[in-house]
Amino acid sequence: MSTPSTTQKTASPKDAGPGARSGAVRTGTDASRGRPPGALRVGLSRGWVEIRTFSREWEGVLFTFMLPAVILVLFATVMGGMFDMEMSAVDYFLPGLMAMGLMSVSFQTLGVAIAAEREYGGLRRLRGTPMAPSSYFIGKTILVLFLALGQVVLLLGVARLFFDAALPTGVTAWATVAWVFVLGTVACSLLGIAISSLARTAAAASAVVTFPFLVLQFISGIFVPTVALPDWVLNAAGLFPLLWMAQGMRAGFFPEEMAQLEPSGAWDLHLVALALGTWCVVGLVLTLLTFRWKTRKDG
């Protein structure tokens, strides 16, 4: 009598049917491919693409990095005789120009660039890929950090090497500059992403973004000392982040006795942190509510 072990046939892929064969193929394919890259890894790669794309236009790179340094040189040349020996024109305008430059590479750059990508269909094509939306914003964040750090290094280098500017010396002062840098850049980046949705075309984006940015520079203590501004102007400027960014930077660069030139007679760093933190939250909410991957005519 035959036992089951000697009479039972070994099942082959042909006998298993088409469903089993396809399942075996899928399993082998998935194992060979591995897990797809996560949003962070794709975002880092996207950031490198953003930097390379931006760097191809040398005019834009030169203007972006050099603008605050050029303004600093002009102020040092034109207004050098208006300041006493205790505080040179370079020392006075340097922290404000840092704040202005940070808003330029975040608010202005993102506001114009994203509006152009939306009109020319770049955002729509990206949305149709498997890339997670968060990867796109990670890439933009890397671009902004690259531009911001490069601009700050160049500005401080020019100020120190050519004008012997006084830089912060203590750890506390540099820590103040660092957290104002981070909070201000994040807040302005989110506002730039949000305002990009207001522009109907890429051509209009420049005006929509540049006009408020230009006005804020004159009412936020960048070019005109805050003590010379009317109260109603300061109250209006206090509703936006640039005034607080400049005040926080001055707290890191200026000696303590210079705080008496502020509207309240103090640096009020707790108010600086509160204002910039609030704008980070407001900017995030506005971005979530207004950001669009398509133009209005595309639906």
DSSP secondary structure code for residue 267 in this structure: -
Count, residues in the chain = 299
Crossing angle of the two packed helices 202-219 and 89-103, in degrees rounded to 10: 150
Q: How far apart are CA 284 and CA 214, in angstroms?
A: 23
Q: How far apart are CA 107 and CA 221, in angstroms?
A: 18
| Two tokens, residue 66 | 């050099």
Select the more confidently predicted residue: 34 or 67: 67
Most distant CA pair in the chain: distance in Å?
116
| Two tokens, residue 197 | 């949705």
pLDDT digits (tens, 9 = 90+) for 272-283: 999 999 999 999
Question: Whole-prediction pTM value?
Answer: 0.84
The pLDDT of 242-259, averaged and rounded, is: 95
Q: pLDDT tier at 39 (50, 70, 90 boundaries)?
A: confident
pLDDT digits (tens, 9 = 90+) for 171-199: 999 999 999 999 999 999 999 999 998 88
Task: Tally helices (H) and strands (E) across the chain.
Answer: 13, 0
Q: Which residues contact 167 (CB under 8 A, 6 or more apart)?
A: 156, 159, 160, 253
Residue 31, pLDDT > 70, answer no
Tell which phi-psi region holds residue 136, choosing left (phi > 0), alpha (psi between -120 and 50) or beta: alpha
Give the per-residue pLDDT at 131. Answer: 87
pLDDT over 90 percentage in the chain? 59
Identify the H or E element spanning 70. Answer: helix 58-78
The pLDDT of 212-232, averaged and rounded, is: 92
Q: How far, in Å, are 57, 94, 228, 288 from residue 224 at the CA level? A: 33, 13, 7, 35
Place of tokens 């990009």: 196
Q: Which residues contact 116 (CB under 8 A, 6 or more apart)?
A: 122, 202, 205
